[in-house]
Chain A
Amino acid sequence: MILTREEEDMLNGVYGDGLRRAMKIIVGLGKIENASRLIDVKSAHISGVSYSNIGDEGLEFLEELASLNVKVRVPTTLNPCGIDLAKWRLMGVDDEYYSKQVKVIKAYEALGVKATCTCTPYLHDNVPMRGDHIAWSESSAVIYANTFIKAYTNKESGISALASALTGKTAYYGLHDDEKRKPEIAVRARFKVRGALEFSVLGYFTGRVSEARIPLILGAHPRTIPEKKQFSAGLSASGSVGMALFKWGEELETIDFDRDMFKSIINDLSVEDDFNILFLGCPHLCLEEIEEIARVVKGRRIVRGREVWLCTSRSIYTQAFNKGLIKIVEEAGLKVFVDTCLIVSPLKPIQVIGTNAVKTAHYIRSMHKANVKIAEAIALLRGVLE
């Protein structure tokens, strides 16, 4: 690998120990595919923010790095943390957890990272342009950025995205290289796939069958932001790859996705029982979704004993608030949280969670040992209204 003088100096500690450590990670990853050089990145997005996930070990790692006086060199945003930083008491979180979570956020801020705490940075907080080279983690955002914005990022880990943020660099390999952004397997939809849930399952199925190969999707194309988000999140949960394609000139080995397969995936993950909490906002809700929810619940109330959690980013919340939508949904008894989501929060045992996202179902079943009921968001919501 040929490094510039500045990159070499970073690696040798001329700019201090923080940049030396970060550069060591970048160069180490470049060796995976014998990258010949490093390139500049325009932005970074970091996962690994919830104290539930990174623990004291991650917190110490970040605090030590922050003590070395390094700062990010490119605009850098954060994934959701374990709590709503303002309404955390409403979530039933204790003081100790809160103080640990705030330490994690403070360490990131000391490194110059913007504590946006959202898994949908591409909606408002950190929007890449077509063709931009970026270093993002959060698997669903990586797929969204590569597939629907046509930016260039590998599926970075939270740690390698942070290393790129500090150095402003990534190795030129993998999905940064047009030659590597080619599909090796096709999935053909055999029915008209429409709506967020169906695209969520299509993504999940595709991740399973494509193994580590970039998939080409035939016969279906997500049009709306919710459909694109859900397709990305489904693919990210079961799969390994960082992108999908919808058009390609060549014939490929093709696997069919039909209605029976759709139903069997839902049946495998979902239970028939009624749910205790309905969680909508995986990935974080966009404005259109909050508008639709507000239309459905306006002037009505949710049934006593049921809870509905909506999760979104602080910036989308502000937009929704200014349109009067937050008032409508809160008057109906729904809870709106920002900065967090149900998957990465420290939940008390909940028996059944309602969701429209296969990604939520996938992680909740193993991480929180809860059961899930999967259906379209609005159908689930109508089921809890008086």
Chain B
Amino acid sequence: MKLRGRVISEGRARGEALASSRPLSFYGDIDKETGLVIGRDSDIYGCKVVDKVLILPYTRGSTVSAWIIYALKRRNLSPKAIILWGPADPVVASGCLISNIPLIDMVRPKPQLYVKSGDEVEVLETGEIIIYC
């Protein structure tokens, strides 16, 4: 199964999917000391984003989030890649660009329908996403 989106921050990564149907803010919803999701209204509350391919509808909230993405990356606590079915805002885009984390947005078909947490997923430089079952 292959999905496809726009490449916002280019790169290749393969890892375990962590899929959510709710938006997140890296500031406020993720603990930068541990990589744990702490946003109480998230459906992946208590999960770690560390080394995951993080799949979200879109990102929300704080403009500090880019700093959090950068700090997570420097601490080896960041996701390996981020996949959005909605549009990337400049906040998540700049965070991923300076942290060299692949970011693909406007992914179709919507990944939430085809990927669940735990699936093996690969993100390619072309914006293609391969799901291994």
Contacts and interface: CB of A to CB of B under 8 A. Distances in A.
A126 interface: no
Given A138-B63, A159-B94, A366 B40 contact: yes
Interface in A29-72: 29, 31-32, 47-48, 53-55, 57-58, 61
Given A139-B63, A159-B94, A365-B40, A212 B86 contact: yes
Contact of B28 (A55, A158, A159, A363): A363
Contact of A154 (B8, B9, B59, B90): B90
B68 A236 contact: no
A379 interface: no
Contacts of B58: 211-212, 240
B2 interface: no
Given A138-B63, A367-B38, A29 B90 contact: yes
Contact of B71 (A57, A211, A367): A57
Given A32-B8, A240-B60, A157 B65 contact: yes
A61 B97 contact: no
**Which residue, of B23, B27, B58, B64, has the highest number of chain A Cβ atoms within 10 A?**
B64
Contacts of A155: 63, 89-91
Nearest to B33: A55
Contacts of A239: 60-61
B127 interface: no
Contacts of B68: 53
A55 B8 CA distance: 26
B62 interface: yes
Interface string B60-101: 111111111011001100000000001111110111011000
B15 interface: no
A156 interface: yes
A206 interface: no
Nearest to B62: A139
B90 A47 contact: no
B4 interface: no
Contacts of B11: none
A25 interface: yes
A243 B94 CA distance: 20
Contacts of A142: 63
Contacts of A121: none
A345 interface: no
B83 to A, nearest CB: 15
A229 B59 CA distance: 22
A362 B28 contact: yes
Contacts of A222: none
A237 interface: yes
B88 A32 contact: yes
A47 B62 contact: yes
A324 interface: no
A207 interface: yes
A39 B9 CA distance: 22
A57 B70 contact: yes
A29 B93 contact: yes
Contacts of A137: 63-64, 91
A137 B62 CA distance: 9
**Which residue, of B59, B61, B67, has the highest number of chain A Cβ atoms within 10 A?**
B67
Contact of B67 (A24, A48, A154, A212): A48
B87 A212 contact: yes
B39 A156 contact: no
**Which residue, of A139, A154, A163, has the highest number of chain B Cβ atoms within 10 A?**
A139
Interface of B: 6, 8-9, 23, 27-29, 32, 38-40, 57-68, 70-71, 74-75, 86-91, 93-95, 97-98, 105
Interface of A: 24-25, 28-29, 31-32, 47-48, 53-55, 57-58, 61, 137-139, 142, 154-161, 163, 174, 207, 211-212, 236-240, 242, 362-363, 365-367
16 contacts: A24-B97, A25-B97, A28-B93, A28-B97, A47-B63, A57-B70, A57-B74, A138-B63, A139-B62, A154-B89, A156-B94, A159-B94, A160-B66, A211-B23, A238-B60, A365-B40
